[in-house]
Amino acid sequence: MNTKLTLKLDEDVIEKAKAYAERRGTSLSRIVEGYFAGLTQEEQAERRPPGVVGELAGLLAGLQIEDEKEGYAEYLTKKYS
């Protein structure tokens, strides 16, 4: 659902932003929406642990993993059979 938002900005900034949007063939509203979306994504990314752990967080979400002991027992059986 789209909702109207009113912003008060410097007139010169608005004119430059409109020209920027026109050069890129998009609307100023779409640019602002993309900017806000990026801000909120960065905020969510900041909640993740840093480094590799953060990159892997949620990778296995929803994946059904067999019982660890059964899986390991099966591995050992195959390995030493």
Q: Chain-wide mean pLDDT for the chain? A: 81
Assess if residue 15 is contained within a domain.
Answer: yes
Alpha-carbon distance 39 to 46, whole Å? 11
Assess if residue 79 is contained within a domain.
Answer: no
For 29-53, what is the mean pLDDT? 76
pLDDT at 73: 81
Long-range contacts of 6-9 (CB under 8 A, 24+ apart): 7/32
Instruction: Pick the more confident residue, 33 or 42.
Output: 33
Assess if residue 29 is contained within a domain.
Answer: yes
pTM: 0.49
Assess if residue 26 is contained within a domain.
Answer: yes
Assess if residue 78 is contained within a domain.
Answer: no
Assess if residue 76 is contained within a domain.
Answer: no
Assess if residue 65 is contained within a domain.
Answer: no
Provide the residue range defining the domain that includes 52.
8-58
The number of folded domains in the chain is 1
Confidence of residue 28 (pLDDT cuts 50, 70, 90): very high
Assess if residue 41 is contained within a domain.
Answer: yes
